[in-house]
């Protein structure tokens, strides 16, 4: 691997001392950018994911505009179930739509653990193309959804406020649920390993719906599968584990071998440091809706957030993905605040 010119992000993942923390934003390659909306007007969602030229262009758009310290490949967590023989559509106004949800052992029998190059080779092509465009200026992050989060969509069939059908499936048909979770886990491990081979410098596992589970159920239906992924990947690349609403598991996560843990905005920096034992890199945790605040206020709050986490073992980010209607200058203020950060003596 050639050396990355701006390696702040990789240094923070290793826990090394930095002059300022690195910054990127979840969903930074996306719909708050006018240049993204131009592409969106011409191509449907999965065409954008499956066309390497488009995916790589969308990945570098925010970097050109704001100069973040890391890029994250434009893709979607639901390319995994697609590859596993589960039909997934993106419906305008609804979001993910799975017309044949997995509700029984019979449904589960048609779910495969695919050949990754065969089904998701387009993602690897997008990585190679993106790496050329980035020219080793900054690292590239690859990602996947957690097995539990993927199961939520596969069983529910669409987004949900509580994923009641997904939970019911786990609690009434635990054998089938664990079989599905294991198939997703095996596919995800193979997928992330191919991504690392294709050139990503780190991977993030998004457990967007982990907070739907009680702490006991979280260990059984989510964390043990995330742990398998971390175990399989940690020697190949740094792994960031992000569980939204999962502050209760930070102590377990900190012992997992992950290089960093994402934190959402419901947990203070002080609490997150305490729960995670204070030795692991943390990432987060600005409330995405706070980006509606005036730019001067955003800058003040970001500076306070860095002071609270500390500049080392810390990656500045949002506590979840950026919202589509955030003014572009407000997103800019968030990034600028980090680049202008100096430790006050």
Which residue positions form the known binding site for substrate? Answer: 27-31, 46, 76, 153, 208, 320
Residue 32, CB half-sphere, CA atoms under 13 Å: how many? 24
Q: Note the pLDDT tens digit of each residue in 170-201.
A: 999 999 999 999 999 999 999 999 999 999 99
Residue 3 belongs to some domain of the structure:
no
- Both tokens of 188, joined, read 């995800």
Q: What value does the mean pLDDT take over residues 240-256? A: 98
The 10s digit of each residue's pLDDT in 49-99 is 999 999 999 999 999 999 999 999 999 999 999 999 999 999 988 999 999
Q: How far is CA 213 from CA 115, 140, 168, 276, in A?
A: 31, 31, 12, 20
List the structure tokens of 240: 């960031």
pLDDT tens for 5-26 read 999 999 999 999 999 999 999 9
CB 138 within 8 A of CB 68: yes
Average per-residue pLDDT in the chain? Answer: 97
- Judge whether 202 lies within some domain: yes
Give mean pLDDT, residues 231-256.
98
Range of the domain at 178: 8-339
Confidence (pLDDT) at 92: 87
Encoding tokens for residue 299?
């800058």
Residue % of the chain over a pLDDT of 90: 98
Q: Dihedral through CA 131, CA 262, CA 337, CA 334, nearest 10?
A: 80
pLDDT at 1: 55
- Residues making up the annotated binding site are 27-31, 46, 76, 153, 208, 320
Cβ-count burial of 42 within 10 angstroms (0-12 exposed, 13-18 middle, 19+ buried)? exposed
Angle between helices 52-66 and 328-339 in degrees, nearest 10: 60
Instruction: Give all strands (DSSP E) within 94-161, no chain letters.
Output: 95-97, 140-145
What is 329-342 written as a DSSP string? HHHHHHHHHHHT--
What pLDDT score does 147 carry? 98
The answer to whether position 55 is within a domain reads yes
pLDDT recorded at residue 40: 96
Residue 31 has pLDDT above 80, yes or no: yes
- Tell me whether residue 219 is in a domain: yes
| CATH number of the domain that residue 230 is part of | 3.20.20.210
pLDDT tens sequence across 95-119: 999 999 999 999 999 999 999 999 9
User: Measured between alpha carbons, how far is 337 from 117 in angstroms, rounded to an integer?
Assistant: 41
Note whether residue 345 is domain-resident: no
**Are the C-beta atoms of 145 and 203 separated by less than 8 Å?**
no
Residue 179 pLDDT = 98
Give the count of domains, the chain: 1
Report the SS3 class of residue 127. helix
Predicted pLDDT at 344: 73
Residue 282 parent element (H or E): strand 281-286
In a domain, 2, yes or no: no
Domain membership flag for residue 229: yes
Residue 1 covered by a domain: no
Does residue 213 register a pLDDT over 60? yes
Q: Is 18 helix (H, G, I), strand (E, B) or coil?
A: coil
The model's pTM is 0.97
Q: SS3 for 25?
A: coil
C-beta neighbour count of 251 within 10 angstroms: 12
Chain position carrying tokens 């968030």 = 334
- Rounded alpha-carbon distances, angstroms, from residue 237 to 205, 214, 223, 242: 12, 30, 19, 16
Give the confidence band of 343 by pLDDT, cuts at 50, 70, 90.
confident
> Per-residue confidence at 155, pLDDT binned at 50, 70, 90?
very high
pLDDT at 2 over 90: no
Stretch 286-308: mean pLDDT: 98
Q: For 179, phi and psi rounded to 5 degrees? A: -65, -45
pLDDT for 345 beyond 70: no
Q: State the pLDDT at residue 163.
A: 97
Location of structure tokens 């994250």: 72
């Amino acid at each position: 691997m050639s050396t990355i010119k701006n390696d702040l992000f990789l240094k923070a993942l290793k826990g090394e001392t930095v002059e300022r923390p690195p910054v990127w934003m979840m969903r930074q390659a996306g719909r708050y950018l006018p240049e993204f909306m131009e592409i969106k007007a011409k191509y449907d969602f999965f065409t954008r994911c499956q066309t390497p030229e488009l995916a790589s262009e969308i990945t570098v758009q925010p970097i050109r505009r704001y100069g973040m310290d890391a890029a994250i490949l434009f893709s979607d967590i639901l390319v995994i179930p697609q590859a596993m023989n589960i039909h997934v559509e993106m419906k305008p106004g609804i979001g993910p739509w799975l017309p044949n949800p997995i509700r029984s052992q019979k449904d589960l029998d048609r779910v495969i653990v695919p050949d990754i190059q065969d089904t998701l080779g387009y993602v690897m092509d997008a990585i190679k193309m993106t790496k050329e465009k980035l020219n080793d200026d900054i690292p590239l992050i690859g990602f996947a959804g957690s097995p539990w989060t993927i199961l939520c969509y596969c069983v529910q069939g669409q987004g949900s406020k509580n994923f009641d059908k997904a939970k019911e499936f786990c609690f009434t048909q635990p054998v089938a649920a664990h079989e599905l979770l294991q198939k997703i886990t095996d596919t995800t491990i193979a997928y992330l390993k191919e991504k690392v081979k294709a050139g990503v410098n780190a991977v993030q596992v998004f457990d967007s719906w982990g907070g739907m589970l009680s702490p006991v159920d979280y260990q059984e239906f989510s964390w043990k599968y995330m742990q398998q992924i971390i175990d399989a990947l940690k020697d190949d690349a740094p792994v960031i584990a992000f569980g939204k609403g999962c502050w209760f598991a930070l102590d377990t996560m900190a012992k997992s071998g992950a290089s960093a843990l994402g934190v959402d905005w419901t947990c203070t920096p002080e609490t997150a440091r305490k729960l995670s034992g204070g030795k692991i890199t943390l990432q987060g945790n600005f409330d995405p809706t706070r980006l509606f605040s005036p730019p001067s206020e955003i800058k003040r709050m970001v500076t306070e957030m860095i002071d609270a986490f500390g500049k080392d073992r810390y990656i500045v980010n949002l506590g979840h993905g950026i919202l589509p209607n955030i003014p572009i200058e407000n997103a800019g203020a968030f990034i600028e605040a980090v680049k202008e950060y100096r430790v006050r003596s």
